[in-house]
């Protein structure tokens, strides 16, 4: 058997290089959009109202402090800016501007800008991975560890050259790129790389090709200063004469202007000044049947003499009103008018436009009701009637009519009982022609409704202040108004009383209660108001348990002795002077409550950092007895307060108190229930 020959040796094969695979085809609908390559996330932006549905509010020169959570995957360094621009009331938007944001830690960032003149502002955020800052941080870490950084320096040179193509002034960047890529000792090149001036130059020319812009452009409504700050005085001009049997005229009412101005008020608010209906006219103390000579309620608007664009003949003519507005302005007062969208049965609208009202099955128009109460002298408008468009335009025309006669402030009666959409449309449309118009919402209703009206465009809002009298009530309520998101869009106006509201605190507390509530209103809020008669301590209710006044001025003419001894006018004038001289009291943002060992004493501070203005207000809440105790001054802000003596000056009396440290003693009486103390201040942050 023969053997098989041995196998021939196999030839060595050359090594093959694998062929490159073809790229994976990308389907046009694979969902990989360019924005998915952006790594930075911008979220939890503040301030932002209802996902940008509504604007925040500011006045010219006020800052907008923007915060956000900004983060990305990995450990790269980030950069971010606030982008903003001004949109004038009439004209084209301005150019976008930017201000750098600062990282606060834990992914929280902040930035700020100031708004311009009346109109609007817009703002949004942009953030990106800061490649240079990331490289610089890594370079510094390797240098500290004693590692070779030759490769990193070459990488940095490439970053600088790329930035030079983007920069306005590329000289420094190009020169440093040459140094980093050169043959100088590595230590010298590293010093050049870590130069702070280079970091500043690179920050001015960032690579933002894959930046993330926040998904919304947010808005700021910029009102004039009076929307934020003002002292209001409410008066019935028909009661400004000397004869209780007839209406005073505007000419007679003008005689009251110097006295009101001398008390330091800014706004003179008038209830409706229109003709008053006679059908179902109310009598004195809201009697259902009027007697001969009864003047009726100004809120029952309309008669054969005209409607919402007419003046009651007892007050005079529209020309008399114009002269009254001019005289008020000369006295330093701005006239505000009541805007009450309702009619008496005698209003011309009732016969000319019955389609604007609700009707019963028998065809008669429905009057206002709040069972068991009936208001036969009032016909509400039907904001959703078939002819709603013509109604809305007519009601807007009412505002425009009075704007044309010099009025820019409107106190709106019961806006929560009218269409929300109407208010948003009407206010915005009026502002296009009159950007300085201001609307105050008189809506004592549920918090959600009050806040929504503010979002819709009302510049100021009545509040629950009248019913907050204890220290816990005041502290809790003011904390809500000044520290939550509500502060961004709802400006409170603290009326101490109104023609409809005489709180039991004033009924039972006597003159001391009026002093206390006045000081609280005027120092807790930048805007506050009183209804005439407050300075005379008027406090008699129509019946026990009622908040209505006896002999209410709503239904009759009240002639008063404004010079009655012991009235509150000197205190009012003094506090309003303090408000004008101290910017700390001209906003609500810096309100801080401090401690007191006596629950009947409320202590709080207000500050204006830019001017170094620091006030400590201390108020007794007890109108019946002396209260005393220890109050806490603001820790860390008082010059010498923690280690030595300092002087606290009472701006109400000019009294000077020698204080030491954080806690000091006060004694308050019903005759002098408050201190407004100016404290020596250290440098405060802006």
Residue 45 vs residues 51, 68, 219: alpha-carbon distances, Å:
9, 4, 13
Q: Active site includes 122?
A: no
Residues paired with 607 in a beta bridge: 614
Using alpha carbons, select from 525, 609, 518, 613 the residue that is nearest to residue 567: 518
Residue 502, C-beta contacts closer than 8 angstroms, at least 6 positions apart: 538, 539, 541, 547, 548, 549
3-state DSSP assignment of residue 630: strand
User: What is the C-alpha to C-alpha distance for residues 221 and 489, in angstroms, rounded to an integer?
Assistant: 9
User: What is the C-alpha to C-alpha distance for residues 209 and 200, in angstroms, rounded to an integer?
Assistant: 19
Handedness of CA 533, 534, 537, 541 (dihedral sign): positive
User: What is the C-alpha to C-alpha distance for residues 286 and 377, in angstroms, rounded to an integer?
Assistant: 11
Residues paired with 67 in a beta bridge: 46, 110
Residues 236, 239, 245, 250: what is their CA dihedral angle, to the nearest 10 degrees?
-90
3-state DSSP assignment of residue 509: helix
The single residue of 252, 346, 382, 442 carrying the catalytic annotation is 442
User: What is the C-alpha to C-alpha distance for residues 604 and 631, in angstroms, rounded to an integer?
Assistant: 9
Q: Active site includes 207?
A: no
Cα 308 from chain centre: 30
Using alpha carbons, select from 249, 415, 403 the residue that is nearest to residue 337: 403
Give CA angle at 294 (289, 298), nearest 5°: 95
User: What are the structure tokens assigned to 492, written together?
Assistant: 């409170």
Residues paired with 559 in a beta bridge: none
Contact 642, 662 (CB under 8 A): yes
Give CA angle at 536 (628, 554), nearest 5°: 125
User: What is the C-alpha to C-alpha distance for residues 650 and 636, in angstroms, rounded to an integer?
Assistant: 20
3-state DSSP assignment of residue 318: helix
Residue 151, C-beta contacts closer than 8 angstroms, at least 6 positions apart: none
The single residue of 338, 413, 459, 553 carrying the catalytic annotation is 413
Q: Which residues are catalytic?
A: 413, 442
């Amino acid at each position: 058997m023969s053997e098989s020959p041995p196998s021939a040796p196999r030839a060595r094969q050359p090594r093959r290089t694998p062929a490159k695979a073809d790229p994976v085809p990308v389907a046009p609908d694979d969902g990989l959009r360019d924005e998915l390559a952006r790594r930075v996330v911008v979220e939890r932006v503040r301030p932002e109202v209802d996902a940008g549905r509504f604007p925040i509010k500011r006045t010219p020169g006020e800052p907008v402090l923007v915060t956000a959570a900004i983060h990305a995957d990995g450990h790269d360094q980030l950069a971010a800016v606030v982008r903003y621009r001004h949109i004038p009331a009439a004209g084209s938007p301005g150019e976008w501007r930017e201000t750098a944001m600062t990282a606060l830690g834990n992914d929280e960032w902040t930035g700020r800008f100031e708004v311009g003149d009346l109109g609007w502002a817009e703002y949004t955020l942009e953030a990106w991975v800061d490649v240079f800052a990331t490289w610089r941080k890594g370079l510094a870490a390797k240098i500290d560890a004693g590692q070779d950084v030759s490769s990193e320096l070459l990488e940095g040179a490439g970053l600088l050259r790329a930035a030079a193509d983007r920069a306005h002034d590329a000289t420094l960047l190009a020169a440093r790129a040459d140094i980093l890529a050169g043959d100088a000792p590595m230590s010298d090149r590293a010093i050049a790389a870590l130069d702070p001036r280079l970091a500043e130059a690179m920050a001015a020319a960032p690579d933002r090709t894959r930046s993330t812009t926040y998904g919304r452009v947010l808005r700021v409504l910029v009102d004039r200063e009076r929307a934020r700050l003002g002292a209001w005085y409410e008066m019935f001009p028909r009661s400004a004469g000397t004869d209780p049997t007839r209406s005073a005229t505007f000419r007679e009412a003008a005689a009251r202007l110097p006295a009101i101005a001398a008390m330091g008020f800014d706004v003179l608010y008038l209830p409706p000044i229109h003709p008053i209906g006679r059908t179902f006219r109310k009598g004195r103390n809201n009697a259902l049947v009027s007697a001969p000579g009864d003047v009726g309620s100004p809120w029952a608007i309309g008669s054969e003499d005209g409607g919402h664009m007419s003046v009651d003949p007892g007050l005079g003519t529209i020309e008399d009103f114009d002269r009254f507005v001019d005289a008020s302005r000369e006295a330093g007062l701005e006239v505000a008018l009541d805007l009450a969208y309702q009619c008496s049965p005698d209003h011309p609208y009732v016969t000319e436009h019955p389609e604007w009202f609700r009707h019963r099955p028998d065809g008669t128009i429905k009057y206002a009701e709040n069972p068991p109460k009936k208001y036969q002298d009032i016909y509400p408008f039907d904001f959703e009637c078939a002819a709603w468009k013509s109604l809305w335009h007519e009601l807007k025309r009412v505002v425009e009519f009075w704007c044309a006669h010099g009025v820019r402030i409107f106190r709106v009666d019961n806006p929560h009982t009218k269409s929300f959409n109407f208010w948003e449309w009407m206010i915005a449309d009026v502002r296009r022609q009159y950007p300085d118009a201001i609307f105050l919402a008189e809506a004592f209703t549920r918090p959600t409704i009050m806040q929504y009206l503010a979002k819709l465009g009302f510049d100021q809002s009545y509040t629950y202040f009248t019913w907050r009298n204890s220290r816990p009530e005041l502290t809790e309520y003011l904390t809500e108004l000044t520290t939550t998101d509500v502060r961004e869009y709802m400006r409170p106006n603290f009326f101490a009383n109104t023609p409809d509201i005489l709180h039991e605190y004033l009924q039972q507390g006597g003159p001391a209660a009026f002093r206390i509530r006045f000081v609280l209103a005027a120092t807790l809020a930048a805007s506050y108001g009183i209804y005439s008669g407050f300075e005379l301590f008027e406090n008699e209710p129509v019946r026990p348990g009622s908040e209505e006044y006896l002999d209410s001025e709503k239904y009759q003419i009240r002639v008063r002795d404004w010079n009655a001894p012991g009235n509150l006018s000197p205190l009012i004038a003094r506090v309003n002077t303090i408000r004008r001289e101290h910017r700390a009291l001209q906003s609500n943002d810096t309100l801080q409550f401090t401690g007191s060992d006596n629950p009947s004493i409320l202590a709080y501070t207000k500050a204006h950092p830019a001017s170094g203005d620091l006030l400590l207000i201390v108020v007794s809440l007890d109108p019946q007895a002396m209260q005393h105790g220890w109050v806490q001054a603001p820790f860390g802000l008082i010059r010498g307060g923690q280690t030595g003596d300092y002087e606290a000056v009472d701006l109400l009396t000019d009294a000077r108190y020698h204080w030491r440290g954080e806690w000091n003693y006060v004694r308050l009486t019903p005759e002098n229930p408050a201190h407004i103390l100016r404290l020596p201040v250290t440098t405060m942050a802006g």
